[in-house]
Chains A and B, each alone.
Chain A
Amino acid sequence: MSGRGLKQLSILTTLVMLAGLLLVFFWVPMDDVEGFRQKVFYIHVPLAIVALVGFMAGGVEGFRHLRTNDRRHDANSYVFIHMSVIFGVAVLITGMLWAKASWGHYWVWDEPTLVSFLIVFLLYCTYYPFRYAIEDRDRQARYASVFAITAGAFVPLNFMAVRMAESLIHPRVFATSEGGLPGSMMFTFLVMLVAVGLLWITLVKLELLGKQTSGQVSKLRRALEAEGFATSADPEGTVGRRIAPNLESR
């Protein structure tokens, strides 16, 4: 089901990403102050925005799981958060590279966005040990949804609190109300935002499809075992699969 349209989506993602990168490297004018290193902005900021939206979408899916008790929403929530954590690693790395190039240090404590992103990232990293520590599958899904909702509410509050605590000395690219960003840069940025968003969706769909397939495989294997055709050395599935939501149709 999740597999439908995946091929077209992958092609679209590749094309938009390619177009975006071409714009970044060959079309958009160099930044007057920052020069070439400013180009990391076009990948760093979209990654961060997509990761944060993904975290909050994970909270929404968690809410829907609690409302409907449908396992698919828990799986969505898990994959959304999982993918956003991976994007989060990329955000932190690109952010640190940019910080090193612009300010000479890999880490700058008075950059509120960087600090709040780290806090959010660390919080979501605890999602894995938390899931792993709960054995009962229904309870695991329910508690993970509660976590996703709590953390989803936390994301905007955290950004507000950290921003208030820091002096705003660093470039707020969008902060100036009118004309903070020239049109060509804004356009390139938006193309890259769409490209990164599409990449996230493609990877999420791929991951969900993989989970669904492995669920089906283990279901079929069990059916075969019940018929006496095969024996399994690992009847419960691999140990590592335990924290991922179970997508076998029941």
Chain B
Amino acid sequence: MTPSLQALGAIVAKDLRTELRTMRSLPAMILFAVTTFIIFRFGLDRTALSGSLASGVVWTTLLFAAVLGINRIFLPEREEGGFDAFRLAPVDRPVLFVAKATVLFLYLVVLEVIVVPVFAVFFLNDWSGLVPLIPVLLLTNLGFAALGTLISSMAVNSRARDLLVPLLLLPLVVPLMIAATGATSPLLDSGGPSFDKFGTWLLVLGLYDGVFCLVGYAVFDFLLED
């Protein structure tokens, strides 16, 4: 095991342990998502959803719940001196990027494991589209994780942190949302899932993830300098 991998494991384990003990992000994200479903129920005045409406509701909700988590991902490092400790440690700086992106990815997986079934119970008549939804969710999570970590690390050292994360992140994830909803809405069609352009959208998601994982990895060095 190389030192970088060891450091990566240590940071991820530290973050997950802190989250388990303090519960400062995940419960809020889940509660937010479930409440948003209820608001959509009355906002749209529909008791069942399918197709593009269903995919719009599920992705909008997941996006805003993710923003809540992204806002806080670097907060303990800043408030409790984690950045200074990390700078002192003899570890490559992009390791912190990979570690935080991994943690964010895991948060999003947990969020979706709870929230997507809740969505299905609330709104979906046909659950057969949920299994092929898994790769779409995972690829989109990767994009959220890479971009969210990058944006959050930029915003955490500024004055308007809570404001900047959604402001910068939302335009950046528009293509991700286009591809995710494009792949999801035929899956949730009322007449059973169809795979219209499914592979193409997965390819777009993968390409987007690849580009921004690389960009984040490459520029993260400059965000930690002081």
- With a 10 A CB-CB cut-off, give which of B168, B182, B223 has the most chain A CB atoms: B168
Please tell me if the beta carbons of B200 and A143 are within 8 angstroms of each other in the complex: no
Chain B residues with CB under 8 A of A123: 168, 171-172
Given A126-B167, A143-B223, A158-B175 in contact, is the A164-B200 Cβ separation under 8 Å? yes
A149 within 8 A of B: yes
Chain A residue nearest to B223 (CB atoms) is A146
Chain B residues with CB under 8 A of A223: none
Q: How many residues of B contact A (CB 8 A)?
A: 30
Mark A120-144 against chain B: 1 for CB-CB distance below 8 A, else 0.
1011001001100111000100110
Given A153-B212, A165-B178 in contact, is the A146-B154 Cβ separation under 8 Å? yes
Main secondary structure of the interface of A (DSSP, over half): helix
Chain A residues with CB under 8 A of B167: 126, 129-130
B163 within 8 A of A: yes
A217 within 8 A of B: no
- Min Cβ gap B212→A in Å is 7
A246 to B63, CA, bound (A): 37
A126 to B219, CA, bound (A): 19
- Min Cβ gap A245→B in Å is 16
Please tell me if the beta carbons of B174 and A134 are within 8 angstroms of each other in the complex: no
A147 within 8 A of B: yes
Chain B residue nearest to A166 (CB atoms) is B178
Please tell me if the beta carbons of B182 and A165 are within 8 angstroms of each other in the complex: yes
Please tell me if the beta carbons of B208 and A157 are within 8 angstroms of each other in the complex: yes
Chain B residues with CB under 8 A of A36: none
Complex A-B: 29 CB contacts under 8 Å: A119-B171, A122-B171, A123-B171, A123-B172, A126-B164, A126-B167, A130-B164, A133-B155, A133-B158, A134-B158, A142-B223, A142-B225, A143-B154, A143-B223, A145-B222, A149-B215, A150-B215, A150-B219, A154-B175, A157-B175, A157-B211, A158-B174, A158-B175, A160-B175, A161-B178, A161-B179, A162-B178, A164-B182, A164-B200
Q: Which residues of B contact A (CB under 8 A)?
A: 150, 154-155, 157-160, 163-164, 167-168, 171-172, 174-175, 178-179, 182, 200, 204, 207-208, 211-212, 215, 219, 222-223, 225-226
Q: Which residues of A contact B (CB under 8 A)?
A: 66, 119-120, 122-123, 126, 129-130, 133-135, 139, 142-143, 145-147, 149-151, 153-154, 157-158, 160-162, 164-165
